[in-house]
Structure 1
Amino acid sequence: MPPTPPEDPDSAVITTDKLSKSFSVGGAQQHVLRNLDLEITAGSFTVVMGPSGAGKSTLLYALSGLDRPTLGTVRLDGTDLTALGEDALARFRRGHCGFVFQQAHLLDSLTVLENLLVVGLLVSRDRGALADRARSLLERVNLPERDWTKVPTMLSGGEAQRVAIARALMNRPAVVFADEPTGQLGSEQSAAVLDLLSDVHADGQTIVMVTHDVRSAARAERVLYLRDGHVSHECSLSGRTERTQALTSFLTEMGW
Protein backbone atom coordinates (compact mmCIF):
# COMPACT_ATOMS: atom_id res chain seq x y z
CA MET A 1 0.00 0.00 0.00
CA PRO A 2 1.21 3.59 -0.51
CA PRO A 3 2.67 5.45 2.47
CA THR A 4 0.19 7.19 4.74
CA PRO A 5 0.75 9.95 7.31
CA PRO A 6 0.30 9.25 11.04
CA GLU A 7 -3.20 9.69 12.47
CA ASP A 8 -2.13 12.65 14.57
CA PRO A 9 0.15 14.96 12.51
CA ASP A 10 1.04 16.91 15.65
CA SER A 11 2.84 13.81 16.97
CA ALA A 12 5.33 13.75 14.09
CA VAL A 13 8.90 14.15 15.33
CA ILE A 14 10.31 14.20 11.78
CA THR A 15 8.66 15.85 8.78
CA THR A 16 10.09 16.33 5.31
CA ASP A 17 8.74 18.50 2.53
CA LYS A 18 9.85 17.76 -1.04
CA LEU A 19 13.17 16.41 0.25
CA SER A 20 15.57 15.94 -2.65
CA LYS A 21 19.23 14.97 -2.85
CA SER A 22 21.43 14.76 -5.92
CA PHE A 23 25.12 14.23 -6.55
CA SER A 24 27.34 15.17 -9.46
CA VAL A 25 28.82 12.02 -11.01
CA GLY A 26 31.07 12.44 -14.01
CA GLY A 27 29.56 15.80 -14.77
CA ALA A 28 26.00 14.45 -14.67
CA GLN A 29 23.48 14.84 -11.85
CA GLN A 30 22.48 11.64 -10.09
CA HIS A 31 19.16 12.10 -8.27
CA VAL A 32 19.05 9.89 -5.17
CA LEU A 33 16.04 11.36 -3.34
CA ARG A 34 13.17 12.98 -5.23
CA ASN A 35 10.54 15.29 -3.69
CA LEU A 36 10.11 13.00 -0.69
CA ASP A 37 7.32 13.89 1.76
CA LEU A 38 7.49 11.89 4.97
CA GLU A 39 6.28 11.98 8.55
CA ILE A 40 7.67 9.86 11.38
CA THR A 41 5.71 9.70 14.59
CA ALA A 42 7.28 10.31 17.98
CA GLY A 43 7.87 7.05 19.83
CA SER A 44 7.73 4.93 16.67
CA PHE A 45 10.20 2.34 15.37
CA THR A 46 10.62 2.88 11.63
CA VAL A 47 12.81 0.88 9.27
CA VAL A 48 13.90 1.95 5.78
CA MET A 49 14.49 -0.82 3.24
CA GLY A 50 14.96 -0.94 -0.51
CA PRO A 51 17.26 -2.21 -3.24
CA SER A 52 20.96 -1.45 -3.26
CA GLY A 53 21.60 2.14 -4.31
CA ALA A 54 18.07 3.26 -3.45
CA GLY A 55 19.40 5.99 -1.16
CA LYS A 56 18.58 4.47 2.23
CA SER A 57 21.65 5.79 4.03
CA THR A 58 21.36 9.09 2.16
CA LEU A 59 17.84 9.47 3.53
CA LEU A 60 18.99 8.61 7.06
CA TYR A 61 21.75 11.19 6.91
CA ALA A 62 19.41 13.86 5.55
CA LEU A 63 16.82 13.19 8.26
CA SER A 64 19.43 13.44 11.00
CA GLY A 65 21.27 16.50 9.72
CA LEU A 66 24.46 14.60 8.93
CA ASP A 67 23.99 15.63 5.31
CA ARG A 68 22.11 18.52 3.75
CA PRO A 69 19.44 17.98 1.10
CA THR A 70 19.83 19.59 -2.30
CA LEU A 71 16.23 20.86 -2.12
CA GLY A 72 13.36 20.68 0.33
CA THR A 73 13.21 20.81 4.12
CA VAL A 74 13.62 18.53 7.10
CA ARG A 75 12.03 19.35 10.46
CA LEU A 76 13.21 17.36 13.47
CA ASP A 77 11.67 17.90 16.90
CA GLY A 78 10.17 21.18 15.70
CA THR A 79 13.38 22.61 14.18
CA ASP A 80 13.99 23.17 10.47
CA LEU A 81 17.43 21.59 10.03
CA THR A 82 17.87 23.13 6.59
CA ALA A 83 17.68 26.63 8.09
CA LEU A 84 20.58 26.07 10.51
CA GLY A 85 24.19 27.02 9.91
CA GLU A 86 26.90 24.39 10.30
CA ASP A 87 27.75 25.23 13.93
CA ALA A 88 24.10 25.43 14.98
CA LEU A 89 23.35 22.18 13.18
CA ALA A 90 26.22 20.41 14.97
CA ARG A 91 24.96 21.67 18.34
CA PHE A 92 21.44 20.53 17.49
CA ARG A 93 22.59 17.02 16.57
CA ARG A 94 24.47 16.66 19.86
CA GLY A 95 21.35 17.28 21.90
CA HIS A 96 18.62 15.78 19.72
CA CYS A 97 20.11 12.89 17.73
CA GLY A 98 21.71 9.62 18.72
CA PHE A 99 23.65 7.56 16.18
CA VAL A 100 24.46 3.86 15.86
CA PHE A 101 26.39 2.78 12.78
CA GLN A 102 27.52 -0.54 11.32
CA GLN A 103 30.78 -0.11 13.19
CA ALA A 104 30.72 1.13 16.78
CA HIS A 105 33.19 3.99 16.10
CA LEU A 106 34.21 4.17 19.76
CA LEU A 107 37.33 6.13 20.72
CA ASP A 108 40.05 3.57 21.39
CA SER A 109 42.07 6.04 23.48
CA LEU A 110 39.24 6.25 26.05
CA THR A 111 37.64 3.69 28.32
CA VAL A 112 34.10 2.51 27.76
CA LEU A 113 32.80 4.82 30.49
CA GLU A 114 34.78 7.77 29.13
CA ASN A 115 33.31 7.20 25.65
CA LEU A 116 29.90 7.99 27.10
CA LEU A 117 31.10 10.87 29.29
CA VAL A 118 32.80 12.69 26.43
CA VAL A 119 29.51 12.73 24.51
CA GLY A 120 27.62 14.04 27.54
CA LEU A 121 30.16 16.79 28.09
CA LEU A 122 29.27 18.22 24.68
CA VAL A 123 25.93 19.40 26.09
CA SER A 124 26.40 19.51 29.88
CA ARG A 125 29.10 20.30 32.44
CA ASP A 126 27.44 18.50 35.33
CA ARG A 127 30.02 15.72 35.60
CA GLY A 128 28.31 14.04 38.52
CA ALA A 129 24.98 13.74 36.76
CA LEU A 130 26.69 12.63 33.55
CA ALA A 131 28.64 9.92 35.37
CA ASP A 132 25.44 8.65 36.96
CA ARG A 133 23.66 8.53 33.62
CA ALA A 134 26.60 6.81 31.90
CA ARG A 135 26.71 4.10 34.57
CA SER A 136 22.94 3.67 34.40
CA LEU A 137 23.04 3.25 30.62
CA LEU A 138 25.89 0.72 30.73
CA GLU A 139 23.87 -1.27 33.21
CA ARG A 140 20.88 -0.93 30.90
CA VAL A 141 22.79 -2.46 27.97
CA ASN A 142 23.95 -5.31 30.21
CA LEU A 143 27.65 -4.52 30.13
CA PRO A 144 29.29 -5.76 33.35
CA GLU A 145 30.92 -3.11 35.53
CA ARG A 146 34.28 -4.86 35.17
CA ASP A 147 34.24 -3.87 31.49
CA TRP A 148 33.59 -0.16 32.03
CA THR A 149 37.29 0.63 32.45
CA LYS A 150 38.34 -1.38 29.40
CA VAL A 151 39.24 0.27 26.12
CA PRO A 152 36.98 -0.63 23.15
CA THR A 153 39.59 -2.90 21.52
CA MET A 154 39.14 -5.27 24.45
CA LEU A 155 35.42 -5.75 23.69
CA SER A 156 33.68 -8.13 21.31
CA GLY A 157 31.78 -6.70 18.36
CA GLY A 158 28.45 -7.22 20.11
CA GLU A 159 29.67 -5.60 23.32
CA ALA A 160 31.03 -2.61 21.41
CA GLN A 161 27.69 -2.17 19.64
CA ARG A 162 25.86 -2.24 22.97
CA VAL A 163 28.18 0.52 24.19
CA ALA A 164 27.43 2.44 20.99
CA ILE A 165 23.71 2.23 21.77
CA ALA A 166 24.33 3.47 25.31
CA ARG A 167 26.36 6.35 23.87
CA ALA A 168 23.56 7.17 21.43
CA LEU A 169 21.15 7.51 24.36
CA MET A 170 23.49 9.57 26.52
CA ASN A 171 21.98 12.98 25.74
CA ARG A 172 18.35 11.81 25.72
CA PRO A 173 17.89 12.26 21.97
CA ALA A 174 14.57 12.84 20.28
CA VAL A 175 15.52 10.20 17.70
CA VAL A 176 18.07 7.38 17.54
CA PHE A 177 19.27 6.80 13.97
CA ALA A 178 20.74 3.37 13.24
CA ASP A 179 22.48 2.48 9.97
CA GLU A 180 22.87 -1.30 9.57
CA PRO A 181 23.65 -1.70 13.32
CA THR A 182 23.93 -5.50 13.06
CA GLY A 183 25.67 -5.59 9.68
CA GLN A 184 28.96 -6.94 11.04
CA LEU A 185 27.64 -9.10 13.86
CA GLY A 186 26.92 -12.80 14.11
CA SER A 187 23.38 -14.05 14.64
CA GLU A 188 23.62 -14.29 18.44
CA GLN A 189 25.19 -10.85 18.81
CA SER A 190 22.69 -9.39 16.35
CA ALA A 191 19.77 -10.77 18.33
CA ALA A 192 21.14 -9.23 21.54
CA VAL A 193 21.53 -5.80 19.89
CA LEU A 194 18.04 -6.00 18.36
CA ASP A 195 16.56 -7.04 21.69
CA LEU A 196 18.14 -3.96 23.22
CA LEU A 197 16.80 -1.65 20.51
CA SER A 198 13.35 -3.17 20.96
CA ASP A 199 13.53 -2.59 24.71
CA VAL A 200 14.63 1.01 24.20
CA HIS A 201 11.75 1.57 21.81
CA ALA A 202 9.30 0.01 24.28
CA ASP A 203 10.33 2.75 26.70
CA GLY A 204 9.18 5.39 24.19
CA GLN A 205 12.37 6.08 22.23
CA THR A 206 11.89 7.00 18.55
CA ILE A 207 14.11 4.87 16.30
CA VAL A 208 14.78 5.16 12.58
CA MET A 209 16.86 2.29 11.23
CA VAL A 210 18.24 1.32 7.82
CA THR A 211 18.76 -2.38 7.26
CA HIS A 212 18.73 -5.01 4.52
CA ASP A 213 18.11 -7.82 7.00
CA VAL A 214 14.51 -9.05 7.20
CA ARG A 215 14.76 -10.33 10.78
CA SER A 216 16.15 -6.99 11.91
CA ALA A 217 13.48 -5.05 10.04
CA ALA A 218 10.74 -7.22 11.55
CA ARG A 219 11.43 -5.57 14.92
CA ALA A 220 9.93 -2.32 13.60
CA GLU A 221 6.34 -1.11 13.64
CA ARG A 222 6.60 0.44 10.19
CA VAL A 223 8.76 -0.46 7.19
CA LEU A 224 9.24 2.09 4.41
CA TYR A 225 10.28 0.77 1.02
CA LEU A 226 12.51 3.23 -0.81
CA ARG A 227 12.69 3.00 -4.59
CA ASP A 228 13.50 5.51 -7.32
CA GLY A 229 14.19 8.23 -4.78
CA HIS A 230 10.91 8.11 -2.87
CA VAL A 231 8.95 5.90 -0.50
CA SER A 232 6.93 3.83 -2.95
CA HIS A 233 5.18 1.61 -0.40
CA GLU A 234 5.12 0.83 3.29
CA CYS A 235 4.24 -2.08 5.53
CA SER A 236 2.71 -1.77 8.99
CA LEU A 237 3.87 -4.48 11.40
CA SER A 238 2.23 -2.99 14.47
CA GLY A 239 0.13 -5.62 16.23
CA ARG A 240 1.26 -8.42 13.91
CA THR A 241 2.10 -11.73 15.56
CA GLU A 242 3.99 -13.17 12.58
CA ARG A 243 6.03 -10.09 11.73
CA THR A 244 8.79 -11.81 9.78
CA GLN A 245 6.28 -13.68 7.63
CA ALA A 246 4.24 -10.54 6.98
CA LEU A 247 7.35 -8.55 6.06
CA THR A 248 8.67 -11.32 3.82
CA SER A 249 5.37 -11.36 1.92
CA PHE A 250 5.49 -7.58 1.55
CA LEU A 251 9.07 -7.62 0.28
CA THR A 252 8.21 -10.37 -2.20
CA GLU A 253 5.49 -8.11 -3.59
CA MET A 254 8.10 -5.35 -3.89
CA GLY A 255 10.34 -7.64 -5.95
CA TRP A 256 12.93 -7.84 -3.18
Structure 2
Amino acid sequence: MSDSLIVTEKLCKTYSSGGNQQHVLKNLDLTLQNGDFTVIMGASGSGKSTLLYALSGMDQPTLGSIIVNNQNISKLNQDQLALFRRKHCGFIFQHINLLDHMSVLDNILASGLLVSRDKKNVVKRAKELLLKVGLLEKDWGKFPSQLSGGEAQRVGIVRALINRPQIVFADEPTGALNSSSSDAVLDILSSFNEHGQSIVMVTHDLKTALRGNRVLYLRDGVICGDLSLDSYYNNNREQRQHQLQAFLNEMGW
Protein backbone atom coordinates (compact mmCIF):
# COMPACT_ATOMS: atom_id res chain seq x y z
CA MET A 1 0.00 0.00 0.00
CA SER A 2 1.32 3.40 -0.92
CA ASP A 3 2.16 5.89 1.82
CA SER A 4 1.33 8.76 -0.51
CA LEU A 5 -1.19 11.15 1.02
CA ILE A 6 -1.29 13.96 -1.57
CA VAL A 7 -0.14 13.80 -5.18
CA THR A 8 -0.27 16.74 -7.57
CA GLU A 9 0.29 16.55 -11.32
CA LYS A 10 1.02 19.63 -13.44
CA LEU A 11 -0.64 21.85 -10.82
CA CYS A 12 -1.15 25.42 -12.04
CA LYS A 13 -2.85 28.43 -10.52
CA THR A 14 -3.36 31.60 -12.54
CA TYR A 15 -5.10 34.81 -11.51
CA SER A 16 -6.43 37.33 -14.02
CA SER A 17 -6.61 41.04 -13.24
CA GLY A 18 -7.19 43.91 -15.63
CA GLY A 19 -6.49 41.75 -18.64
CA ASN A 20 -3.19 40.52 -17.19
CA GLN A 21 -2.48 37.01 -16.00
CA GLN A 22 -0.37 36.15 -12.97
CA HIS A 23 0.93 32.58 -12.94
CA VAL A 24 1.29 31.82 -9.23
CA LEU A 25 1.83 28.04 -9.43
CA LYS A 26 3.50 26.50 -12.47
CA ASN A 27 3.21 22.81 -13.36
CA LEU A 28 3.93 21.48 -9.88
CA ASP A 29 4.43 17.73 -9.53
CA LEU A 30 4.53 16.89 -5.84
CA THR A 31 4.01 13.89 -3.57
CA LEU A 32 3.45 14.23 0.19
CA GLN A 33 3.62 11.19 2.45
CA ASN A 34 1.41 10.07 5.32
CA GLY A 35 2.82 11.11 8.69
CA ASP A 36 5.19 13.76 7.33
CA PHE A 37 5.58 17.24 8.78
CA THR A 38 6.04 19.18 5.55
CA VAL A 39 7.14 22.82 5.65
CA ILE A 40 6.66 25.18 2.71
CA MET A 41 9.02 28.15 2.55
CA GLY A 42 9.87 30.88 0.06
CA ALA A 43 9.97 34.64 -0.36
CA SER A 44 6.82 36.73 -0.20
CA GLY A 45 4.79 36.17 -3.37
CA SER A 46 6.44 32.84 -4.18
CA GLY A 47 3.14 30.93 -4.01
CA LYS A 48 3.41 29.34 -0.54
CA SER A 49 -0.08 30.09 0.71
CA THR A 50 -1.59 29.53 -2.74
CA LEU A 51 -0.13 26.02 -2.74
CA LEU A 52 -1.41 25.37 0.78
CA TYR A 53 -4.92 26.51 -0.14
CA ALA A 54 -4.91 24.40 -3.29
CA LEU A 55 -3.73 21.24 -1.48
CA SER A 56 -6.41 21.69 1.18
CA GLY A 57 -9.28 22.28 -1.23
CA MET A 58 -9.75 25.87 -0.12
CA ASP A 59 -8.90 27.06 -3.63
CA GLN A 60 -9.28 25.24 -6.92
CA PRO A 61 -6.40 24.97 -9.38
CA THR A 62 -6.55 26.45 -12.84
CA LEU A 63 -5.02 23.33 -14.39
CA GLY A 64 -3.69 20.01 -13.18
CA SER A 65 -4.88 17.58 -10.54
CA ILE A 66 -4.69 17.12 -6.77
CA ILE A 67 -5.19 13.57 -5.52
CA VAL A 68 -5.80 13.14 -1.78
CA ASN A 69 -6.03 9.50 -0.68
CA ASN A 70 -6.90 8.48 -4.23
CA GLN A 71 -9.64 11.12 -4.52
CA ASN A 72 -9.21 13.80 -7.18
CA ILE A 73 -10.36 16.87 -5.26
CA SER A 74 -9.68 19.15 -8.23
CA LYS A 75 -12.80 17.64 -9.83
CA LEU A 76 -15.10 18.45 -6.87
CA ASN A 77 -17.62 21.29 -6.86
CA GLN A 78 -17.77 23.83 -4.03
CA ASP A 79 -20.26 21.87 -1.90
CA GLN A 80 -18.23 18.68 -2.30
CA LEU A 81 -15.04 20.54 -1.42
CA ALA A 82 -16.64 21.95 1.74
CA LEU A 83 -17.60 18.43 2.81
CA PHE A 84 -14.12 17.14 1.98
CA ARG A 85 -12.46 19.86 4.09
CA ARG A 86 -14.82 19.29 6.98
CA LYS A 87 -14.15 15.55 7.11
CA HIS A 88 -10.50 15.29 6.16
CA CYS A 89 -8.71 18.57 6.92
CA GLY A 90 -7.89 20.67 9.95
CA PHE A 91 -6.79 24.30 9.65
CA ILE A 92 -4.60 26.48 11.84
CA PHE A 93 -4.11 30.10 10.84
CA GLN A 94 -2.02 33.02 12.09
CA HIS A 95 -5.27 34.80 12.97
CA ILE A 96 -7.20 32.20 14.92
CA ASN A 97 -10.69 33.60 14.24
CA LEU A 98 -12.42 32.11 17.27
CA LEU A 99 -16.07 33.06 17.72
CA ASP A 100 -16.07 35.86 20.28
CA HIS A 101 -19.51 35.06 21.73
CA MET A 102 -18.64 31.41 22.43
CA SER A 103 -16.54 29.88 25.19
CA VAL A 104 -13.37 27.90 24.51
CA LEU A 105 -15.22 24.60 24.73
CA ASP A 106 -18.17 25.76 22.62
CA ASN A 107 -15.84 27.03 19.87
CA ILE A 108 -14.45 23.52 19.57
CA LEU A 109 -17.81 21.77 19.82
CA ALA A 110 -19.20 23.98 17.06
CA SER A 111 -16.63 22.45 14.69
CA GLY A 112 -16.90 18.91 16.02
CA LEU A 113 -20.68 18.74 15.77
CA LEU A 114 -20.57 19.70 12.10
CA VAL A 115 -19.19 16.23 11.43
CA SER A 116 -20.54 14.07 14.25
CA ARG A 117 -23.92 14.22 15.98
CA ASP A 118 -22.62 12.10 18.83
CA LYS A 119 -22.29 15.02 21.24
CA LYS A 120 -21.10 12.86 24.13
CA ASN A 121 -18.08 11.59 22.20
CA VAL A 122 -17.33 15.01 20.68
CA VAL A 123 -17.32 16.60 24.16
CA LYS A 124 -15.10 13.79 25.46
CA ARG A 125 -12.58 14.23 22.65
CA ALA A 126 -12.61 18.03 23.01
CA LYS A 127 -11.79 17.80 26.71
CA GLU A 128 -9.05 15.23 26.11
CA LEU A 129 -7.43 17.43 23.45
CA LEU A 130 -7.69 20.56 25.59
CA LEU A 131 -5.82 18.78 28.37
CA LYS A 132 -3.20 17.54 25.89
CA VAL A 133 -2.44 21.09 24.76
CA GLY A 134 -2.21 22.30 28.36
CA LEU A 135 -5.56 24.08 28.78
CA LEU A 136 -7.12 23.07 32.08
CA GLU A 137 -10.81 22.87 32.92
CA LYS A 138 -10.72 26.32 34.50
CA ASP A 139 -10.00 27.75 31.03
CA TRP A 140 -12.76 25.97 29.12
CA GLY A 141 -15.48 28.46 30.01
CA LYS A 142 -13.40 31.51 29.08
CA PHE A 143 -14.18 33.63 26.04
CA PRO A 144 -11.53 34.39 23.36
CA SER A 145 -11.04 37.94 24.67
CA GLN A 146 -9.88 36.43 27.99
CA LEU A 147 -7.13 34.34 26.42
CA SER A 148 -3.52 35.16 25.65
CA GLY A 149 -2.33 34.75 22.06
CA GLY A 150 -0.67 31.44 22.89
CA GLU A 151 -3.76 30.13 24.66
CA ALA A 152 -5.98 31.14 21.74
CA GLN A 153 -3.71 29.33 19.29
CA ARG A 154 -3.90 26.19 21.44
CA VAL A 155 -7.67 26.37 21.14
CA GLY A 156 -7.14 26.76 17.39
CA ILE A 157 -5.07 23.57 17.36
CA VAL A 158 -7.76 21.63 19.22
CA ARG A 159 -10.40 22.96 16.84
CA ALA A 160 -8.25 21.77 13.92
CA LEU A 161 -7.89 18.29 15.44
CA ILE A 162 -11.40 17.71 16.81
CA ASN A 163 -12.62 15.80 13.73
CA ARG A 164 -9.55 13.55 13.50
CA PRO A 165 -8.35 15.04 10.20
CA GLN A 166 -6.02 13.15 7.92
CA ILE A 167 -4.08 16.37 7.37
CA VAL A 168 -3.59 19.55 9.38
CA PHE A 169 -2.81 22.60 7.24
CA ALA A 170 -1.12 25.47 9.10
CA ASP A 171 -0.51 28.93 7.62
CA GLU A 172 2.04 30.89 9.69
CA PRO A 173 0.61 29.42 12.94
CA THR A 174 3.19 31.18 15.14
CA GLY A 175 3.37 34.44 13.18
CA ALA A 176 1.45 36.48 15.78
CA LEU A 177 2.97 34.87 18.89
CA ASN A 178 5.86 35.80 21.14
CA SER A 179 8.84 33.47 21.43
CA SER A 180 7.69 31.41 24.42
CA SER A 181 4.15 30.97 23.09
CA SER A 182 5.57 30.08 19.69
CA ASP A 183 7.77 27.36 21.20
CA ALA A 184 4.82 25.94 23.15
CA VAL A 185 2.62 25.77 20.05
CA LEU A 186 5.41 24.16 18.01
CA ASP A 187 5.99 21.59 20.77
CA ILE A 188 2.30 20.67 20.57
CA LEU A 189 2.38 20.29 16.79
CA SER A 190 5.58 18.22 16.98
CA SER A 191 3.99 15.98 19.60
CA PHE A 192 0.96 15.25 17.46
CA ASN A 193 3.19 14.62 14.45
CA GLU A 194 5.21 12.10 16.48
CA HIS A 195 1.96 10.20 16.95
CA GLY A 196 1.33 10.07 13.21
CA GLN A 197 -0.54 13.29 12.41
CA SER A 198 0.28 14.58 8.92
CA ILE A 199 1.00 18.32 8.88
CA VAL A 200 1.59 20.76 6.03
CA MET A 201 2.77 24.17 7.23
CA VAL A 202 3.68 27.46 5.57
CA THR A 203 6.21 29.61 7.41
CA HIS A 204 8.87 32.24 6.77
CA ASP A 205 10.53 31.58 10.14
CA LEU A 206 13.66 29.44 10.47
CA LYS A 207 12.90 28.31 14.05
CA THR A 208 9.41 27.21 13.03
CA ALA A 209 10.64 25.42 9.92
CA LEU A 210 13.03 23.32 12.03
CA ARG A 211 10.08 21.24 13.21
CA GLY A 212 9.49 19.75 9.76
CA ASN A 213 11.07 16.57 8.45
CA ARG A 214 10.70 17.87 4.89
CA VAL A 215 11.16 21.45 3.67
CA LEU A 216 10.01 22.60 0.24
CA TYR A 217 11.27 25.90 -1.12
CA LEU A 218 9.18 27.79 -3.67
CA ARG A 219 10.39 30.46 -6.02
CA ASP A 220 8.05 32.12 -8.52
CA GLY A 221 5.55 29.28 -8.32
CA VAL A 222 8.07 26.48 -8.80
CA ILE A 223 9.56 24.09 -6.24
CA CYS A 224 13.26 24.76 -6.58
CA GLY A 225 14.44 22.97 -3.44
CA ASP A 226 13.42 19.90 -1.41
CA LEU A 227 15.23 19.09 1.85
CA SER A 228 14.69 15.95 3.94
CA LEU A 229 15.54 16.05 7.64
CA ASP A 230 15.52 13.51 10.44
CA SER A 231 12.66 13.66 12.91
CA TYR A 232 12.85 16.62 15.28
CA TYR A 233 14.35 16.15 18.74
CA ASN A 234 15.72 18.78 21.09
CA ASN A 235 19.14 17.11 21.07
CA ASN A 236 19.50 17.33 17.27
CA ARG A 237 18.24 20.89 16.98
CA GLU A 238 21.65 22.45 16.33
CA GLN A 239 22.55 19.95 13.61
CA ARG A 240 19.16 20.45 11.92
CA GLN A 241 19.57 24.22 12.08
CA HIS A 242 22.93 24.01 10.27
CA GLN A 243 21.39 21.76 7.58
CA LEU A 244 18.37 24.00 7.11
CA GLN A 245 20.40 27.21 7.09
CA ALA A 246 22.78 25.81 4.47
CA PHE A 247 19.80 24.72 2.36
CA LEU A 248 18.14 28.14 2.63
CA ASN A 249 21.40 29.91 1.79
CA GLU A 250 21.66 27.77 -1.34
CA MET A 251 18.10 28.75 -2.22
CA GLY A 252 19.00 32.46 -1.84
CA TRP A 253 16.68 32.93 1.15
TM-score (norm 1): 0.95
How far apart are the structure 2 equivalents of 1:239 and 1:86? 36
Offset, 1:89: 1.0
How far apart are the structure 2 equivalents of 1:44 and 1:239? 9
Is 2:228 the partner of 1:236? yes
Aligned to 2:243: 246
Please point out which of 25, 40, 45 is paired with 2:37.
45
How far apart are the structure 1 equivalents of 2:18 and 2:228? 39
**Residue type matched to 2:248 in 1?**
L
Aligned to 1:151: 143
How far apart are the structure 2 equivalents of 1:209 and 1:230? 17
Deviates most, 164-173 or 231-240: 231-240
Offset, 1:126: 0.4
Deviates most, 25-34 or 40-49: 25-34
Offset, 1:239: 5.2
Aligned partner of residue 182 in structure 1, secondary structure: coil
Is 2:14 the partner of 1:22? yes
**Residue type matched to 1:228 in 2?**
D
Please point out which of 204, 211, 214 is paired with 1:222.
214
How far apart are the structure 2 equivalents of 1:239 and 1:59? 24
Offset, 1:244: 1.3
Aligned to 1:208: 200
How far apart are the structure 2 equivalents of 1:236 and 1:218? 11
Query: What residue ranges of structure 1 are gaps of 5+ in the alignment?
Result: 1-7
After the TM superposition, which segments of 4 or more aligned residues of structure 1 sit over 2 Å from their partners?
none
Q: Within 5 Å, which residues of 2 pair with 1:58-73?
A: 58-73=50-65
Please point out which of 98, 105, 110 is paired with 1:106.
98
Offset, 1:25: 2.6
Is 2:191 the partner of 1:194? no
Aligned partner of residue 211 in structure 2, secondary structure: coil
CA contact (8 A) 1:77 1:174 kept: no
Offset, 1:74: 0.7
Is 2:130 the partner of 1:133? no
Deviates most, 242-251 or 53-62: 242-251
Offset, 1:102: 0.4
Q: CA RMSD in A?
A: 1.1
How far apart are the structure 1 equivalents of 2:113 and 2:248? 43
How far apart are the structure 1 equivalents of 2:130 and 2:167? 19
Aligned to 1:4: none
Query: What residue ranges of structure 2 are gaps of 5+ in the alignment?
Result: none
Please point out which of 62, 71, 75 is paired with 1:79.
71
Offset, 1:52: 1.0
CA contact (8 A) 2:130 2:158 kept: yes
Please point out which of 161, 167, 170 is paired with 2:153.
161
Offset, 1:153: 1.0
Is 2:93 the partner of 1:93? no
Aligned partner of residue 34 in structure 1, secondary structure: strand
Aligned to 1:33: 25
Aligned partner of residue 233 in structure 1, secondary structure: strand
How far apart are the structure 2 equivalents of 1:107 and 1:76? 30
